[in-house]
Structure formats: structure tokens, C-alpha cells
Amino acid sequence: MWEDAVDPNAFLKTLHNYVFFEDGLTVGELMENLAPWAGTMAGAASMDFSAFLAEVRHEPTALQEEVSHIALRYRICIRPVPAFKKQDEPLSKTKDERYVFAPGQPIRTGRLTIDEGWDSYAVLKPEHRHHYDGSESISLNVSPMNEWKHLPILIDEAGVLYDETALASSAAYLGTRKALTRKDHPNVAAKTLPNGRRGMHEISIDAPCPTFFDVIILGFIWEVGFHYSPVKRTRFRKELLEQVARLDAGGAGIEEEKKELSRMNQARFEAGLAMIKRLEASASRLGLPLMEN
């Protein structure tokens, strides 16, 4: 087979080389182009690439028609470094006898952290956006890849800088309510949260030259396989649709299901809390604090 003739280390040698997509390249074609290096993709992106490839090659029962294309976009996010005043008991009990984890009172750090990278977006056709409260894009995490393998995939030349210091919740960590960027600047889009509070500031920027590792592996392949394998996703999707059908039908037993789900969540929470306490005890013995004071 021709796949056996290719260099198995080709992509490892060119991880940081620039990549450009041909006009009209589809998701399915991109997956097929990567097929000879399925093992490398599985290791680099921590996902079952072969399973997704098999799914792409399978004929779909339906096609995703609401999405126009898949866009790979660059973003930079500036946010404050959080810290909390340590408290003896991080749990508080609500009126309905549930425990809520509270890390403690926020304290000022005066430091910032920067997160950057490429993300993939399933961009909706304008005529379908009113079905999703005006959103520009949706998630395809629970949709089989063969349903959207026909969609074009492209790399956006423009990126976005998100300034989270504009959020009201950032003031405690920065010691000031002033954002790094001015909301009245003509190049700043000041957002408002659904609850009416201040949102992030968004600034359009030029994206850096896209590389194979940053864009294809981290920006697309890794995100495709992050949530589910095809088998797990199909099972989750089936359960989700069954729950929606029961809710729509107003069937009996829904309240009991809610109670059972609440009990399961509480059990998971208590198990996680016990693990945190064990970690704190171990860290204390080693002199390694888990949170800043």
C-alpha cells in the first residue's frame, strides 16, 4: 500500500512548519490526508485517530446542513492570576443540605497570565443563527464526524485578543476595577454578560503564521478527540436524546431521576473533597502548600 511508502516521521520533522489549506479543503479530505500517519496523530493528539477515521469513511445517515464551515481561529487571553485566603473549612452547607465548595476570600496578586492558541469553530449559516440565540457557532462534540465531513475547513487570518481584566470578578485579584484596555477605544469591543455585568474586551488582531502542530494537531485533531471516542460519544448521544424525549413527554420518574443524579453528583463531590484533603495532608508533611495565602 502507498501508506507503507511514506516517511513515518515526516510530521515529527515538520511540527513547527507553516501550513496552508487549499481552498475548498473539507474535513473528510483533511482526515484522509493524515491517514498514513494515524499512529502519530493518535500519540500527538491523545485520541483514537483510527476510530474517527473509520467513522469519517462510513456513510452518514444525515448531513449537518446548518453549519457553513469549520474555522480555525487564533486567540490570546489575558487574565489575572487568582488567589484565595486559606480557610480551615472550605465547605458550606446550603438550605437543602448540600455542601458547596468555597475556596476562600479572593486576595490580590497583581499578576497576569496569558493563554494563547488555536481553536476550532463550527460556524453557523446566518439563516440558522436565530435557532441558537444568535450565536455565530455551535459545538459538534456529540455529532458523528461523517455528518460534517463534507464541510470546508479553513484557517482564519484574523485572531482575537480577550482582555479578562475587564470582568468585574477580576478586580479582587488585581486590586483595581480598571481594565488594561479602554472600553471606549475604537478598536475595543466591550461585551456585556447575560446578567448585565461587564464582560470581556475583545480586540481584533492578526493571527501568527499557522504551524502544523499548533493548528492541525492542537487546534483541530486534539479538540475533536478531547471529549469522547466515537463509541462513547454515540452512547452519550443516545442517552441524551432519551432524556430529552422523556422531558418533552413529561414522563413519570423524571423527579426520581433528578434525585438520583443529585445523589450521584454529591457522592462524586464528597469523593473529590476527600482526595483534596488527603493531598493537603501529604503536601503539609512535605512543606508544599496547595494554595497561596
Rounded to the nearest integer, the mean pLDDT of the chain is 83
**Is residue 293 one of the residues assigned to a domain?**
no
In a 10 Å sphere around its CB, with 0-12 CB exposed, 13-18 middle and 19+ buried, how is residue 2 labelled? Answer: exposed
**Is residue 153 one of the residues assigned to a domain?**
yes
> How many structural domains compose the chain?
1
pLDDT of 99 above 90: no
**Is residue 2 one of the residues assigned to a domain?**
no
**Is residue 10 one of the residues assigned to a domain?**
no
Count CA atoms closer than 13 A to 178's CA, side-chain side: 3
| Contact status, residue 153 vs residue 69, Cβ threshold 8 Å | yes
**Is residue 278 one of the residues assigned to a domain?**
no
**Is residue 116 one of the residues assigned to a domain?**
yes
For residue 280, what pLDDT band results from cuts at 50, 70 and 90? low
pLDDT at position 6 is: 64
Q: Which residues contact 236 (CB under 8 A, 6 or more apart)?
A: 142, 228
Crossing angle, helix 27-34 and helix 49-57, to 10 degrees?
A: 130
**One-letter identity of residue 208:** P
Does 108 or 259 have the greater pLDDT score?
A: 108
Backbone phi, then psi, for 186, in 5-degree steps?
-65, -20
| Contact status, residue 58 vs residue 80, Cβ threshold 8 Å | no
Does 286 or 246 have the greater pLDDT score?
A: 246
pLDDT at position 163 is: 96
pLDDT at position 120 is: 94
- Conformation bin of residue 96: beta by default, left when phi > 0, alpha when psi is -120 to 50: alpha
pLDDT at position 263 is: 66
State mean pLDDT over 83-94. 73
- Conformation bin of residue 137: beta by default, left when phi > 0, alpha when psi is -120 to 50: beta
pLDDT of 95 above 90: no
Does 8 or 166 have the greater pLDDT score?
A: 166
d(CA 201, CA 190): 5
Question: What is the span of the domain harbouring residue 65?
Answer: 19-227
**Is residue 3 one of the residues assigned to a domain?**
no
State mean pLDDT over 128-137. 90
Q: Which residues contact 164 (CB under 8 A, 6 or more apart)?
A: 77, 78, 79, 80, 170, 200
State mean pLDDT over 33-43. 88
Q: Is 114 helix (H, G, I), strand (E, B) or coil?
A: strand
d(CA 10, CA 15): 9
| Contact status, residue 50 vs residue 226, Cβ threshold 8 Å | no
Q: Is 4 helix (H, G, I), strand (E, B) or coil?
A: helix
Count CA atoms closer than 13 A to 215's CA, side-chain side: 25
For residue 292, what pLDDT band results from cuts at 50, 70 and 90? very low
**Is residue 149 one of the residues assigned to a domain?**
yes
